[in-house]
């Protein structure tokens, strides 16, 4: 256990559905990240939050909408997704704000868009 | 441009043998990290080496860094079946924002019992 939990672990949704992914960290960190991991591709950084403020939006389509209500929780709201959005979505957190060197990852949400 | 390319993409060895994975990168870095990922799970940090370090050990892991060649290697000695996983290098660039880690595509290691 890394101290970062993600729910749900698996999600199947249609292209017209709206769903949310949740991430919670119990490490007292103040920076949180969303990554997308597709087959045979490097991890793609999607969003970064530091002290609940979004500091990075890596050209992610607007059908992905992040929310960080406090330093322990991070959400990724999904709507009208495409089949190519099927992937493993990983949340991570780090210490010392944006200068944190090591990131701690959750187990991921495996998303399948039909 | 892609930072952190691992080589080989896949590696199959017998239990007890050593496994060596390599990582190359393009820009100046602050540090380089290795992570491990079991199938369909999150990444787990293994070891971090700073740009002013050349070698680091942690248990059965040995990491080297050659900044002149912009490359790093991860050696796992006396491998075990439980070492079967994907291994990723990640670099923290001096040029990008300090929070960014750039990951490679990974090396899939299979350790046969």
Whether residue B96 has pLDDT greater than 70 = no
For position A99, what pLDDT does the model report? 58
For position B1, what pLDDT does the model report? 33
Whether residue B2 has pLDDT greater than 60 = no
Tokens of B73: 């290697």
Arithmetic mean of pLDDT, B49-67: 96
Whether residue B112 has pLDDT greater than 90 = yes
pLDDT band of residue A58 (cuts 50, 70, 90) is: confident
pLDDT band of residue A52 (cuts 50, 70, 90) is: confident
* CB-based contact B99 A94, cutoff 8 Å: yes
Pick among B37, B99, B101 to test the A interface (most A CBs inside 10 A): B99
Tokens of A69: 């209500």
How far apart are the two ends of chain B, measured CA to CA in Å? 38
Q: How far is B27 from chain A (nearest CA, A)?
A: 17
Reference A92, options A10, A9, A28, A34; nearest CA is A34
pLDDT band of residue A98 (cuts 50, 70, 90) is: low
For position B97, what pLDDT does the model report? 62
Pick among A4, A24, A42, A55 to test the B interface (most B CBs inside 10 A): A42
Write down the residue that tokens 């079946």 correspond to: B81
For position A21, what pLDDT does the model report? 98
For position B19, what pLDDT does the model report? 97
Q: How far is B17 from chain A (nearest CA, A)?
A: 26
* CB-based contact A107 B42, cutoff 8 Å: yes
The larger pLDDT score, comparing residue B66 to residue B98, is at: B66
Q: Which residues of A touch B40 (CB under 8 A)?
A: 88, 108, 110
Query: Strand, helix or coil at A83?
Result: helix
Whether residue A32 has pLDDT greater than 50 = yes
Q: Which residues of A touch B43 (CB under 8 A)?
A: 43, 90, 92, 103, 105
Pick among B43, B46, B92 to test the A interface (most A CBs inside 10 A): B43
Q: How far is B106 from chain A (nearest CA, A)?
A: 7
Whether residue B98 has pLDDT greater than 80 = no
For position A97, what pLDDT does the model report? 56
The larger pLDDT score, comparing residue A1 to residue B69, is at: B69
Burial A58-93 (b: 16+ CB within 10 A, else e): eebeeebebebeebbebbbebeebeeebbbbbbbbb
Arithmetic mean of pLDDT, A39-54: 85
Cα–Cα distance, A100 to A93 (Å, whole number): 9
Query: If you count residue pairs, one on A and one on B, with CB atoms under 8 Å apart, how many are there?
Result: 62
The region, left, alpha or beta by phi > 0 then psi within -120 to 50, assigned to residue A71 is: alpha
Arithmetic mean of pLDDT, A53-64: 84
Arithmetic mean of pLDDT, A38-61: 84
Q: What share of chain B in percent tops pLDDT 90?
A: 72
For position A57, what pLDDT does the model report? 74
- Strand B29-37 and strand A87-94: pairing? unpaired
């Amino acid at each position: 256990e890394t101290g970062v939990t993600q729910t749900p672990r698996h999600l199947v949704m249609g292209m017209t559905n709206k769903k949310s992914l949740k991430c919670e960290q119990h490490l007292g960190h103040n920076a949180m990240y969303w990554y997308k991991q597709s087959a045979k591709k490097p991890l793609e950084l999607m969003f970064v939050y530091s002290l609940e403020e979004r500091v990075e939006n890596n050209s992610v389509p607007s059908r992905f909408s992040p929310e960080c209500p406090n330093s322990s929780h991070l959400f990724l709201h999904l709507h009208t997704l495409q089949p190519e959005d099927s992937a493993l979505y990983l949340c991570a957190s780090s210490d010392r704000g944006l200068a944190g060197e090591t990131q701690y990852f959750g187990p991921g949400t495996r998303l399948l868009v039909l | 441009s892609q930072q952190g390319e691992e080589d080989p993409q896949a590696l199959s060895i017998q239990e007890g043998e050593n496994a060596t994975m390599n990582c190359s990168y393009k820009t100046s870095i602050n540090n380089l990290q290795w992570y491990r990922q079991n199938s369909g799970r999150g990444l787990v940090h293994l070891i971090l080496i700073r740009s002013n370090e050349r070698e680091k050990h942690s248990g059965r892991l040995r990491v080297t860094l050659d900044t002149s060649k912009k490359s790093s290697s991860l050696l796992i000695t006396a491998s075990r079946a439980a070492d079967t996983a994907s291994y990723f290098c990640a670099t923290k660039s001096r040029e990008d924002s300090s929070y960014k880690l750039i990951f490679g595509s990974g090396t899939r290691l299979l350790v046969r019992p």
